Structure 1
């Protein structure tokens, strides 16, 4: 089974590691614009061979793990080049524009729109880890548009990697993910920006930063090359979530200005309910 992974970073590299472990017959080919990434992935035994997009016709499986704006451009090209029995799936954090980009393609049935909800704030081949996807949710969009035998091939991979499957239409996916993922990253980036700007005048501010700050700002270490296209692709939903978030921040600020600490207590107590909602999520 020839598996071509386009984009050998955290996500693509982790898929490569787990597929090699789960399928004895898998041969992993790495495709990446960054030659250093390919050399690192080879030395770390993440991939078996370096390759190029021109060799994609040899693939049985193609995993596209690059920024979503690049995926929109390259996905139709990949479908043009693959064999009829090849499965192509992406791992992008937005789905609607990707699905639209290939909805009229002759080989739309070869494409499976996927979004594994997994990752860390790190990037590059050295960030790839085994079992990243075990126990994680993989959202599949427009499953009915993928050929059944290729659906089965994809589900076999996801099952062996220990993933949970959830089905969703692309528009709903993009709306919901804006709240639970995209807004979290924006909040983290802006908190980091606020503290960095303040630190210019107060050099010891980071000496006072504890684990709470570290965990809240963790996502600010994420790759801008990956996240800027995500915000661009999901612009309308991101703006909507930001407007609601800013409204809540302003209301909280007004409560403090008005010394309404009883209401502040109630606000936080009501929000504590999220502990129940997120119970069991690592």
Structure 2
């Protein structure tokens, strides 16, 4: 299968590595608006050839869109304009509702599978890509009834055989609601924590010399750049604001308990939060 990967950063590059490792792709075509990313991807052997978008779309059996969500929103209709009824397009964006809405009435909508592989790191660029980034993680397929059965089968093969993922099907709105809590809100909190810790009124050098696992594991997402994350936060604004409000209510409860010196309440809140152990390792 000839596979075009549009966007050769962390996600696209990691997909390319796994496609070579698993042998799912007979040829990997790379597309990126950044010439430096293209050069690096070729040097690292992530893709076999670099092509302009239009040429890659024409040549590929499967087109994977691994660019920021604002770029997916912008280019997806044009990509669908160019494909035949034997090609499949899969996006890997972290938001889904606006993307599926953008092509809801498109004549080739059935050739598109809206997806989100739940994997990543705070790093970016093709040099940050790595094998098995996706192994064992969930791949969310959205609004699958709007995709042709053969297109859906191609997407399922990509994620299970090519990337070693497990599948979960949701509607786009449900995806965006839950992603707001488990993906997008954590980034917002990390940015806020970093801004607080970088308070210029204090000696940052001394402060960060004290930082250990608790801080670094919580704040590492603040290294994620705006090119990827501003569009995500903007596109999922409604659900994200709801998640922020829920977080603020719990933060206020903890704040009041600390202010009042209410040790029983503090213990109760921590114990309640400890229930998360049932859901994450």
Residue matched to 1:211? 213
Equivalent runs, 1:182-221 vs 2, <5 Å: 182-198=184-200, 200-201=202-203, 203-221=205-223
Distance 2:44 2:240 in 1: 37
Q: Distance in 2 between matches of 1:203 and 1:134?
A: 38
- TM-score, structure 2 as length reference: 0.96
State the alpha-carbon separation in 1 of the partners of residues 25 and 195 from structure 2: 47
Q: Which residue of 1 aligns with 2:234?
A: 232
CA displacement at 1:200 relative to structure 2:
4.5
The question of whether the paired residues in 1 share the 8 Å contact of 2:197 and 2:204 is answered with: no
**TM superposition outliers: structure 1 runs of 4+ over 6 Å:** none
Q: Which runs of 5+ in 2 are unaligned?
A: none
Aligned partner of 1:129 in structure 2 is 130
The 8 Å contact of residues 231 and 238 in structure 1, kept in 2 or not, is answered as yes
Q: CA deviation at 1:203?
A: 3.5
Deviation, structure 1 residue 275: 1.1
In structure 2, the residue matched to 1:90 is 91
Unmatched runs of 5 consecutive residues or more in structure 1: none
Measure the CA separation in 1 of the matches of 2:226 and 2:201. Answer: 22
Cα separation, 2, equivalents of 1:19 and 1:268: 43
| CA distance 1:198–1:267, shift in 2 (3 Å) | farther
CA RMSD of aligned residues (A): 1.2
TM-score by length of 1: 0.96
Q: Identify if the C-alpha distance between structure 1 residues 203 and 154 changes in structure 2 by more than 3 Å, giving closer, same or farther.
A: closer
Q: How many residues in Structure 1 have an aligned counterpart in Structure 2?
A: 279
Residue of structure 2 equivalent to 1:27:
27
Would you say the 8 A contact 1:88–1:111 is kept in 2?
A: yes
Matched, 1:157 2:131: no
Match of 2:104, SS? coil
Cα distance in 1 for partners of 2:160, 2:264 equals: 49
Q: Tell me by how many angstroms 1:149 deviates.
A: 1.3
